[in-house]
Structure 1
Amino acid sequence: MHPVETFELVLALLAGVVALHWAARRIGLPPATALLVGGGGLAFIPGLPPVALDPELALVLFLPPLLMDGAYYTAFGRFRRHLPGILSLAVGAVVFTTLAVGLVVHWLVPGLPWAACFALGAIVSPPDAVSARAVLQGVTLPRRLSALLEGESLLNDATGLVLFRFAVVATLSGVFSTGAAVSSFFFLAFGGIVVGLLVSAVWMFVVRRLSDQTLIIMANTLICWVAYIAGEMVQVSGVIATVVAGLVLGWYQHIIFPAQVRLRGSAFWQTLVFVLEALVFILIGFSLRGVLDRVGGIEAVSATMAVPILGVVLTVVLARFVWVFGSDGLLSALRGLGLKRARPLGMRQATVLGWAGMRGVVTLAVALTLPASMPGRDLMLVIAFAVIFATVVVQGTSLGWLIRQVRPVDQDPPAKMTMAQSEAAIAGARNDAVEAHAYAPDGTLIHPQLLEQSRKRLDIIQRYAADADTFMEGARTHFDVVLIALAAGRAELIRIHRAGLIEDEVLHDLERDLDVEELGIILQRGD
């Protein structure tokens, strides 16, 4: 394909992303489902050139920024508090699913070597960070359940990749060592943590010395790829290196970044992540055409591979339920024996956790890296696609419905302070600072208006904190009038600019001021 044609195809895909995303919102489907199915449908349009998703490029292009985005916005306190449960899913559930799939595949396809069966298990075992993010955006979950799913999706790819590499080596060489595999896993994980911390330290050193906002945003964007590539270059886990770097950035960005960098950077980053996330699913759908052509079409798949496909899909889903409910049963038993720290999820949350196991880009990319000499390679590719489609389309589409039916209860204790109380504490600190600087050394009041405004603001917020619901009923009408006034001011600004009375620079500066003021009002309204 000519480079210009490739660029035109990318533009067409982006236009398709907008259309499919809009359609998904209109009919109430998760966007990931619409993009995946839409990409698969577009791939079979006559005359459309085939699109091959390079597996190495897919991992290094899509995975680091999407992992970084998840880690950056992770609630670190909950992540640390629920780390044992996260590791149980990210390591234990992945290993258990790998073994279960390997056993089932060898039973259904006896001619496939054991190591190859477990390689397939490693391919389909880790739920995908991209799929989880895409599906969970539209649902509300209890805080503990959300922490478990987000944390699992950040770490389980590392487990799956390590298992896959050892299974492939064992298949091709006929040699496998459990001790070597375990020690290698811990080395890769620990090395990834070290690399992530080192990259984060360099990032903080550099960003503190940059004064240009655009350069800071660019440095923040590049760090995900730097951490991932650095980890892979020294042969440790690039996934864990990226996650660690993202957690560090999320923790320190409140201290290091100016307010404008956070606002501008967040807008840029959200757009970038949206584009990458959408392209992932539409390209997965596009890749289906190449795989089906390779194995002889849909007829060959239904005739020779239907039973193994169905067996693996059911095993992937059931193995997760077995692990989740088995772990929760163990926690219940331990709590019954007097271990107060053991806190089972309960039937409702465990059901949602068991069903939320969508696969995606990592499963596909790893499957595409299978060596050509790998026994059963075509079968593995088709099964990987089937697992992705089944989990994203079926589980992703029905997850919101399941949550509404099950209604999982948030069992985590609430924070000690509400948002209203936090706002009152901030207003008190601001007022104390104004009180300290409103007077000259001789006691003369030099900032009377500022002091009056600060005291009035503190009084309003304290009344709001005392009874937020009652206060907001009256405050909303006040904010509505302010927004009407802002709209009138913006209309007048545009009128005098269109009349040629002010320069474009004045328009942009004043419009920015109005936008910031409007954003503040909208946030205060709670919209």
Structure 2
Amino acid sequence: METITLVLVMLIAVIISSTLVRMLPFPLPLPLLQIALGAAIGMVSGWRLELDPEVFFLIFLPPLLFLDGWRIPKEGLLRDKEMILALALGLVIFTVVGVGYFIHLLIPSMPMPVAFALAAVISPTDPVAVSAIAKRVPIPKRLMHVLEGESLLNDASGLVCLRFAIAATLTGTFSASEAAINFVQLALGGIAIGVAVTWGITRLKEWTSRRFGEETGAQILISLLIPFLAYLAAEHLHCSGILAAVAAGISMSYTELSGRALAVTRVRRTAVWDVLQFALNGMIFVLLGEQLPGIIAGASQVVRETGYHEPIWLVLYIVVINLALGALRFAWVWLSIRFTLYRRRAEAPRSLWRVAATTSVAGARGAITLAGVLTLPLVMNDGTPFPARDLAILLAAGVIIMSLVVASVFMPILLKNGLDLPAEPEHQSEMDRARDIAARAAIRAIEKATHDMSEGRPDADRYIEAAGRISDLYRYRIDNRAKPDEDEDRQNAAKTEEIERQLRLAGLRAERDELFRMVRRKRLEEEVARKLIREIDLMEAQQSG
């Protein structure tokens, strides 16, 4: 009962934090406020939420990684794939090896495998935290897409490296060649399982919906279960559950292009997933704060037992590790940009150092780092405590907090005068063109629906009149690039209003189908289509209600 009460209190803290961050007269990153509230709960209540690491991993990571893969713009990933892969794979390995050795030299009492585990878990970045920090100084879209793509992939690569480091700690053995082979097997197996689970469930769901109708609540529940099923299936088959969740999310974005789900399902599902993402991200940071008092006490005891330093050195460890992470990231980003420009025979930005510095500072750590470090085993295979676990958790928590503070201070300074980056493709003209094409498709569908509905009826003129008004709205959009005013066509007669409603629905569905076809044929970017389809879904949900 106490655990349930604590979880409810922590959820209330998430709600309070979202209100307080808007009330404060100065900008403060939401994650920092949530950590502070969690620490207050831990100190005042004396409660401690104890979760088995595997259970914690299962609850938090699959849905967050799945949602990242589902929603991230795929065009941005492909456009800057070289830079994203360099950061998500090359930088992670560079960080694990470089920072892992550095941590072991800095803290000899921490075994080498544990140091590598800590380096692996602090390698993933968190764009959610960065976007919260930079709300008042917008990050260029090109850079944000790179950071989102890096985060999506380095979550998987960093946590897979963590898995190998934990295994080396438990068994006392490690083989680089065997690890490389296992990594490929884990990765390929996890990706294949994630794709297969999403594809299979989606096909079964579509077949059931066609034959027996669609239940919105069931469809939403299915989408919530997919990441857990993919993760558990991959882990059962000794593959990467992390990559399975990511692959399942990416597959979900492509299966959705069929456009077969009801509009009300998409609207309600989006709302449910938004709430889940908000709750899980907030809970992780509140949980970090709640665990901090116990973590600090345990880590201080570990340092005292080693006889090397006083507990005050823990702060210095955190600062030095952050400096090492920042230096390695800056060097890697600068070299990666230089190498990419050399391959493309392009000119370097006028302020290359500022681009590299902004990308480095933007590498704040967050939910994934905390979720990963809390999965360190409590005991070894022989029953003895896992070495330096509390110290590793404290250092990871310190890295999260300091990276958020550094980003909140320096991001606005570095972005104040903008960055000399290649421009993103202009979406406004593409959106106007897509609206025109979709509107013409709607007019054709309304004309066909009018013919089918009015044929042989004595009141056919009523249908023709209503169709003319609805079509005029679409023609107005084509001529003036403006959205129609739905209230403009409200009629007093109930029957005429019902006819117009049906014709509007026919037009909206035709618009959406055309947008889905354009995306499938690569004639429209997914990010633009998602915005337009959401507009249509909201209008259709209003009409259906």
TM class by shorter chain equals 0.7 to 0.9
Residues of 1 paired with 2:189 and 2:79: CA distance?
A: 23
Structure 2: which amino acid aligns with 1:453? R
Residues of 1 paired with 2:316 and 2:536: CA distance?
A: 61
CA displacement, residues 421-447 of structure 1 (integer Å, 9 cap, x when unaligned): 2211111111122334544789x9764
CA displacement, residues 3-27 of structure 1 (integer Å, 9 cap, x when unaligned): 1x33222222222222221111222
Question: Among residues 274, 278, 285, which one is paired with 2:278 in the alignment?
Answer: 274
Question: Among residues 311, 318, 342, which one is paired with 1:333 in the alignment?
Answer: 342
Residues of 1 paired with 2:188 and 2:360: CA distance?
A: 28
Given the superposition, is the C-alpha separation of residues 174 and 7 from structure 1 closer, same or farther in structure 2, using an over 3 Å criterion? closer
CA displacement, residues 86-120 of structure 1 (integer Å, 9 cap, x when unaligned): 22211111111112212322332345444343232
Q: Does 1:71 align with 2:69?
A: yes
Q: CA deviation at 1:270?
A: 1.4
Q: Which residue of 1 aligns with 2:499?
A: none
Q: Does 1:456 align with 2:472?
A: yes
Q: Does 1:311 align with 2:320?
A: yes
Given the superposition, is the C-alpha separation of residues 330 and 407 from structure 1 closer, same or farther in structure 2, using an over 3 Å criterion? closer
Q: Which residue of 2 aligns with 1:357?
A: 363
Q: Does 1:383 align with 2:399?
A: no
Q: Does 1:214 align with 2:220?
A: no
Structure 2: which amino acid aligns with 1:17? V
Q: Does 1:85 align with 2:107?
A: no
Q: Does 1:19 align with 2:16?
A: yes
Question: Among residues 403, 411, 431, which one is paired with 1:419 in the alignment?
Answer: 431
Question: Among residues 146, 149, 152, which one is paired with 2:147 in the alignment?
Answer: 149
Q: Which residue of 2 aligns with 1:126?
A: 124
Equivalence map 1:161-200=2 (5 Å): 161-200=159-198
C-alpha contact 1:66 1:130 (8 A) present in aligned 2: no
Residues of 2 paired with 1:397 and 1:278: CA distance?
A: 21
Equivalence map 1:396-435=2 (5 Å): 396=408, 398-400=410-412, 402-407=414-419, 409=421, 411-415=423-427, 417-435=429-447
CA displacement, residues 275-318 of structure 1 (integer Å, 9 cap, x when unaligned): 12211110011111121121347996643434332221211222
Residues of 1 paired with 2:75 and 2:104: CA distance?
A: 42
CA displacement, residues 376-407 of structure 1 (integer Å, 9 cap, x when unaligned): 44432221121111123332565455434444
Calculate percent identity across the aligned residue pairs.
30
Residues of 1 paired with 2:352 and 2:89: CA distance?
A: 21
Q: TM-score, normalised by structure 1?
A: 0.80
Q: TM-score, normalised by structure 2?
A: 0.77
Structure 2: which amino acid aligns with 1:192? G
Residues of 1 paired with 2:301 and 2:417: CA distance?
A: 39
Given the superposition, is the C-alpha separation of residues 323 and 164 from structure 1 closer, same or farther in structure 2, using an over 3 Å criterion? same
Q: CA deviation at 1:216?
A: 1.0
Structure 2: which amino acid aligns with 1:394? V
Structure 1: which amino acid aligns with 2:29? P
Residues of 2 paired with 1:76 and 1:456: CA distance?
A: 35
SS at structure 1 position matched to 2:49: coil
Q: CA deviation at 1:257?
A: 1.0
Q: Which residue of 2 aligns with 1:501?
A: none
C-alpha contact 2:194 2:243 (8 A) present in aligned 1: yes
Structure 1: which amino acid aligns with 2:280? L
CA displacement, residues 111-140 of structure 1 (integer Å, 9 cap, x when unaligned): 544434323211222224664575577764
Residues of 2 paired with 1:53 and 1:395: CA distance?
A: 30
Gaps of 5+ in 1: 487-515
Structure 2: which amino acid aligns with 1:460? Y
Residues of 2 paired with 1:393 and 1:54: CA distance?
A: 30
C-alpha contact 1:67 1:129 (8 A) present in aligned 2: no
Given the superposition, is the C-alpha separation of residues 220 and 111 from structure 1 closer, same or farther in structure 2, using an over 3 Å criterion? closer
Q: Which residue of 1 aligns with 2:29?
A: 30
Q: Which residue of 2 aligns with 1:511?
A: none
C-alpha contact 2:263 2:537 (8 A) present in aligned 1: no
Residues of 1 paired with 2:302 and 2:402: CA distance?
A: 16
CA displacement, residues 5-60 of structure 1 (integer Å, 9 cap, x when unaligned): 33222222222222221111222323222112221233212x43223354322211
Given the superposition, is the C-alpha separation of residues 400 and 236 from structure 1 closer, same or farther in structure 2, using an over 3 Å criterion? farther
Equivalence map 1:296-307=2 (5 Å): 296=300, 302-307=311-316
Residues of 2 paired with 1:228 and 1:450: CA distance?
A: 51
- Output the aligned Cα RMSD: 3.6
Structure 2: which amino acid aligns with 1:289? P
Gaps of 5+ in 2: 305-309, 380-384, 492-534
Structure 2: which amino acid aligns with 1:147? H
Deviates more, 1:271-280 or 1:389-398: 389-398
Q: Which residue of 2 aligns with 1:496?
A: none
Q: CA deviation at 1:413?
A: 3.0
Question: Among residues 222, 228, 233, which one is paired with 2:231 in the alignment?
Answer: 228
SS at structure 1 position matched to 2:219: helix
Structure 1: which amino acid aligns with 2:43? F
C-alpha contact 1:66 1:129 (8 A) present in aligned 2: no
Q: Which residue of 1 aligns with 2:530?
A: none
Deviates more, 1:193-202 or 1:99-108: 99-108
Structure 1: which amino acid aligns with 2:183? F
Given the superposition, is the C-alpha separation of residues 261 and 173 from structure 1 closer, same or farther in structure 2, using an over 3 Å criterion? closer
Deviates more, 1:394-403 or 1:429-438: 394-403
C-alpha contact 1:142 1:410 (8 A) present in aligned 2: no
CA displacement, residues 171-219 of structure 1 (integer Å, 9 cap, x when unaligned): 4544322211211111111111100111012211232114222111111
Given the superposition, is the C-alpha separation of residues 350 and 310 from structure 1 closer, same or farther in structure 2, using an over 3 Å criterion? closer
Given the superposition, is the C-alpha separation of residues 33 and 399 from structure 1 closer, same or farther in structure 2, using an over 3 Å criterion? farther
SS at structure 2 position matched to 1:256: coil
Deviates more, 1:267-276 or 1:392-401: 392-401
